[in-house]
Structure 1
């Protein structure tokens, strides 16, 4: 009996000793990446394709619109008639100006003949010098009245042509702000013309980013009709003051769509790359939190174990976030399933294609921040 008791005590001691040793389970597969350059992270701004030149078209005289020949979206050519006013009044003004010119020319002819007669009489000393000078002055006044009447007739003739509103350049009617039968004042906008030529994207820049947008900054433009294709663009102008209601700054980004067509009114998106090329970036899916602060699971290449490290991040991008402090180039971080890990847990590192990753031999991958 005594040997059997000693045997049972020995087995219990072995079991107790085994419980003191940690039982390490199998390594959990986890996708890992290395931080890339922050330039891979970009802020996106929605916008609309606009023409670089969009003049407001208006009549140079006031009147009642008798006819409108185009509508929004119509393509027009330079010199094409867009609308016209009731020309009855300007026609009467032109006739009156021409009648005044004819009267002034008749007065001038009479003054010329009177001057010739007084000149011959003066040579024969039949009239005084003062009477002759009076005729000379009357003839000069008649000449001035003819010049005045000609100028007034020319103005009236121009106003008659102003009754027809014509397109200054070829393009597309972007807006229509008046209708047939409406009485408009001189200079009141009737149409807005989007001229053919260079295209731009109109965007609104928030106040916190306005300081980073200076004319000439390189940007990228992506059309909704051509997803995945980004065209090089450049900031042409930005408003000096914010919109009083939206509190955003209106900006225009010029770009070249190459062989593709960018139609007026198309939706687009402008990407602004991060200015700090020294910062690193990781996918948004790699972010976790520790004590309310952003953190990353950093992998030890030697042991393949993870540790949660607090980092300082910059403004969030569409798919990535820049890491300003707390991470070194070449370090490996877990990019997916971060909420399933524990401190000190051993992982089986894999890439996006579910292939094993050799942590010690891998080189930094600048494109890692593009992971979705």
Structure 2
């Protein structure tokens, strides 16, 4: 009898007398600017303009008086084809033109005789028509022979590969003795138009890269040199293996102080303000504008509107709404209500 009475008294006891259930732990993240990628990238100095040069005619390469790394001037001969063969082709074309002209002269004279005989009524009309056809064919043969001679002379002139502008030979693609066709690459010329720094950056770096990003380019080794640079081009196709994008950075004063192939470090000049990021899982999916759950001083959940920036893989830049040091819930956000008391922080 006594035991049921005690149970009844306990059931009627006020709620304050009972022990409160502990608040649930929460998986959260302290907002910092440490998620930004490194700002230093290795690179190399290259020419802003590189030209692949080749002959405009077919033949066998006879000489190549320049080597890799040689500085050349505009108009300097870089390679030649077999001149004997080209000269023979010109001589044959000239002989063909003389023969065609002789045939044309004979056909013209035959036509004149046929016309006179036809006028006298001695030769039939068919003889005159045949002579006229032969004369026309002979004139066409002269035109064809003249065109062949023009091509042979062009080929002889194209047998010398000259530098279109001053520069440095950056790559050799064909050696003497090789037989080439028109347009076959023979060498690459890095023109003296200017120098640029070439670097590779990961995909996530493009999201925070300004369109007119500025860099400080510094050579490696003893006595480093520095030059300011500005982003000129982001190559649209990423590397198939590393998924990195290639950036080309124009250098001040054309970068002539740096030698081609010099190893450099490119430092991105970004504001010192931290870049705040959060996992995409922390953004409430059912709110507009976007919101996150921030823990207040008494560890109660409060909904805070934020402005989202660029995506960085599985994270997103927070442009406004939060400050460094805020604690934000990143797991279980669907089961939280405003003002809910939350427990200690658990690292993800």
Asked if 1:231 corresponds to 2:264, the answer is: no
Cα distance in 2 between the residues matched to 1:230 and 1:78: 28
What residue in structure 1 maps to residue 173 of structure 2? 177
Q: 1:64 aligns with which of 60, 63, 73?
A: 60
**Contact 1:83–1:166 at 8 Å: present in 2 too?**
yes
Task: Give the 3-state SS of the residue equivalent to 1:231 in structure 2.
Answer: strand
Q: 1:49 aligns with which of 41, 45, 49?
A: 45
TM-score of the aligned structures, taking structure 2 as reference length: 0.61
What residue in structure 2 maps to residue 15 of structure 1? none
Asked if 1:222 corresponds to 2:217, the answer is: yes
Q: 2:237 aligns with which of 238, 241, 262?
A: 241
Shift of residue 260 of structure 1?
5.9
**Contact 1:219–1:235 at 8 Å: present in 2 too?**
no
Which structure 1 segments of 5+ residues have no match? 1-36, 282-314, 316-323, 329-372
What residue in structure 1 maps to residue 323 of structure 2? 325
After superposition, the Cα gap between the structure-2 partners of 1:47 and 1:278, relative to the gap in structure 1 and judged at 3 Å, is closer
Asked if 1:101 corresponds to 2:94, the answer is: no
**Contact 2:231–2:247 at 8 Å: present in 1 too?**
no
Shift of residue 42 of structure 1?
7.5
Q: 2:160 aligns with which of 151, 161, 164?
A: 164
**Contact 2:216–2:268 at 8 Å: present in 1 too?**
no
Question: Pairwise mapping of residues 270-289 of structure 1 onto structure 2 (< 5 A)?
Answer: 270-274=266-270, 279-280=273-274
**Contact 1:234–1:255 at 8 Å: present in 2 too?**
no
Shift of residue 123 of structure 1?
3.1
What residue in structure 1 maps to residue 319 of structure 2? none
Shift of residue 133 of structure 1?
2.7
1:81-134 CA-to-partner distances (Å, cap 9, x unmatched) read: 112222333333322222211111111111122222223333333333333232
Which structure 2 segments of 5+ residues have no match? 1-32, 276-311, 313-321, 327-348
What residue in structure 2 maps to residue 203 of structure 1? 199
Asked if 1:250 corresponds to 2:249, the answer is: no
Task: Give the 3-state SS of the residue equivalent to 2:39 in structure 1.
Answer: strand
Shift of residue 155 of structure 1?
1.3
Task: Give the 3-state SS of the residue equivalent to 2:236 in structure 1.
Answer: coil
Asked if 1:134 corresponds to 2:130, the answer is: yes
After superposition, the Cα gap between the structure-2 partners of 1:89 and 1:204, relative to the gap in structure 1 and judged at 3 Å, is same
Cα distance in 2 between the residues matched to 1:166 and 1:207: 41
TM-score of the aligned structures, taking structure 1 as reference length: 0.58
**Contact 1:97–1:152 at 8 Å: present in 2 too?**
yes
What residue in structure 2 maps to residue 123 of structure 1? 119
Cα distance in 1 between the residues matched to 2:171 and 2:43: 18
Cα distance in 2 between the residues matched to 1:146 and 1:123: 28
Shift of residue 59 of structure 1?
2.6
Count of residues in correspondence between the two structures = 249
Cα distance in 1 between the residues matched to 2:97 and 2:209: 60
Shift of residue 186 of structure 1?
4.2
Cα distance in 2 between the residues matched to 1:229 and 1:250: 21
- Alpha-carbon RMSD across the aligned residues, in angstroms, is 3.5
